[in-house]
Amino acid sequence: MNHFIAVINDSSLIMKSIFLASILLHMFIIFKAARRKANEGITKGRIWITYAVIYWLAGFIGGTIISLLVILILQGIFAILNFLNYAHIDESTIFMIGYSLHAVASAIIFAILNKRYLTSEKNIGREEATDTKQYILLLLKLIGIGILAFFGLLFAIPIILFAVAAYVVFKFLSITGFVAGMASNRIQEVQDDIDMAAYKRQQYGVHNENERIISDSEAQQIKERMDNRNKKFWL
């Protein structure tokens, strides 16, 4: 909670406005979804209210996972930009983006699940056919599922975050290796041009003191490398 308040205080006025807009959008989507008219034969009673609470909690958990993944991915991207000395947004802005996304994503998940309940044929007459005993059993069942889902997420979220972090690191290393390879190839290409020019001058008896002697075998290797690069260019 302290981290959330600190992020809010450190964020810019624009990000605060975006976050407030996402909260209002969350409330609007929830309100519109709750007012959605059910299909004929489906009653919006205590069972629907119970499922609506579960759906909101499911949306909250789903939104949390989505926002955490987005925050982690953004942190990885901007860590790479920071390594390359490029300017990027600060950490509070990254978290505000995640919080705003969480508010909207959780509401959308609720709306989707609520629509499925209100339009499913298996829920026709369900409210009227459920007595108090069955309702209590339904509550216990949903509470049990909720507990299992909660503890499952406690283990799943770190695994998911670790997998995403490993993927980001892998991509970073791949990009770094690719850039390093390009730089190395470019250096070799420039050096080959210099050596080949020196070899041609040496064939006419011209030799600068700061140039090394290029043998015929080495010149042949340089020529082969240059030919290979030209072939790759035109492929």
The percent of residues above 70 in pLDDT, for the chain, comes to 74
Lowest mean pLDDT among 15-29, 30-44, 100-114, 141-155: 141-155
Residues 92, 206, single domain; the answer is no
- pLDDT of 232 higher than 60: no
In a domain, 151, yes or no: no
Residues 181, 125, single domain; the answer is no
Residues 81, 188, single domain; the answer is no
What is the residue range of 95's domain?
2-130
Structure confidence by residue, pLDDT tens digits, 169-193:
666 666 555 555 566 666 777 787 7
Residues 172, 108, single domain; the answer is no
Residues 54, 119, single domain; the answer is yes
Amino acid 29: pLDDT:
93
Average pLDDT, the chain: 78
Residues 8, 100, single domain; the answer is yes
Residues 8, 63, single domain; the answer is yes
Residues 165, 101, single domain; the answer is no
Residues 95, 188, single domain; the answer is no
Assessment of whether the complete model's pTM goes beyond 0.75: no
Which of 130, 145, 171 terminates a domain? The answer is 130
Q: For residue 233, name the pLDDT band (cuts at 50, 70, 90).
A: very low
Query: What value does the mean pLDDT take over residues 137-158?
Result: 73
Structure confidence by residue, pLDDT tens digits, 58-75:
888 888 888 888 888 887
DSSP the chain: -HHHHHHHHHS-HHHHHHHHHHHHHHHHHHHHHHTPPPPTT---SHHHHHHHHHHHHHHHHHHHHHHHHHHHHHHHHHHHHHHTT-----HHHHHHHHHHHHHHHHHHHHHHHHHHHHH-GGGTTHHHH--HHHHHHHHHHHHHHHHHHHHHHHHHHHHHHHHHHHHHHHHHHHHHHHHHHHHHHHHHHHHHHHHHHHHHHHHTT---TTSPPPPHHHHHHHHHHHHHHHHHHH-
Residues 119, 231, single domain; the answer is no
In a domain, 138, yes or no: no
Amino acid 169: pLDDT:
64
Structure confidence by residue, pLDDT tens digits, 7-17:
777 778 888 89
Q: How many domains, in total, are found in the chain?
A: 2
Q: For residue 235, name the pLDDT band (cuts at 50, 70, 90).
A: very low
In a domain, 142, yes or no: no
The percent of residues above 90 in pLDDT, for the chain, comes to 11
